[in-house]
Chains A and B, each alone.
Chain A
């Protein structure tokens, strides 16, 4: 069964530092993977998605993620953190042929220090 695991429920970085949020998936077939961001008192906003077209996926707000099949990972990175990046980030996967249903990781809260 496909699922995702996010390592680290909290990540803190200084403004300008590299952001690395980890997501590993378990799947026996190529997955469709997504990263969403949630700001306080808001819904989820899509950052990027992987659909097997390219292993390096660029998203909004300077974020990107690299699909590594050998490591079953889809980590989210941003070269330089900004205060506005402080939010909760969720990795999600479409499981099998079940359309309309996302399976989410537990989320990673990103704190950015000035």
Chain B
């Protein structure tokens, strides 16, 4: 079974631009969660989508948004990029219906650099 696929792996953008990251979950998984990883803040939760609906949201500004499609693939968008948005963005998929023991499987991440 294929794992979680994130594209692209690397991105370089300039301040003020916007960016879209893509995540394809494991087949059969209906939940997709997004995390931002930085050396200073560690791993922080952005949001989670389940069956095309945002189910949970972290404490990030409205410039960060996401969506999920009917095939469970998800995208996240960051508008008006700031230098501080430089980070590794990780996507994780899970069944979404197994309760608190649900295992999240992570992709390799997209490394975003904002210049």
Contacts and interface: CB of A to CB of B under 8 A. Distances in A.
A104 B43 contact: yes
Contacts, number: 68
B72 interface: no
A45 interface: yes
Contacts of B106: 36, 43-45
A86 to B, nearest CB: 18
Interface residues of A, number: 24
B34 to A, nearest CB: 10
Interface in A83-110: 90, 94, 97-107
A51 interface: yes
A49 B103 CA distance: 8
B94 interface: yes
Given A98-B56, A101-B48, A44 B90 contact: yes
A46 B33 contact: no
A28 interface: no
Given A42-B108, A44-B90, A99 B43 contact: no
A30 B71 CA distance: 34
Contacts of B99: 99
Given A43-B4, A44-B90, A99-B55, A51 B108 contact: no
B102 A100 contact: yes
A9 B55 CA distance: 32
B50 A100 contact: yes
A-B pairs, 5 with minimum CB distance: A100-B48, A43-B106, A104-B43, A44-B106, A51-B101
Interface of A: 32, 34, 36, 41-46, 49, 51, 90, 94, 97-107
Interface of B: 4, 6, 31, 33, 35, 42-43, 45, 48, 50, 55-56, 58, 90, 92, 94, 96, 99-109
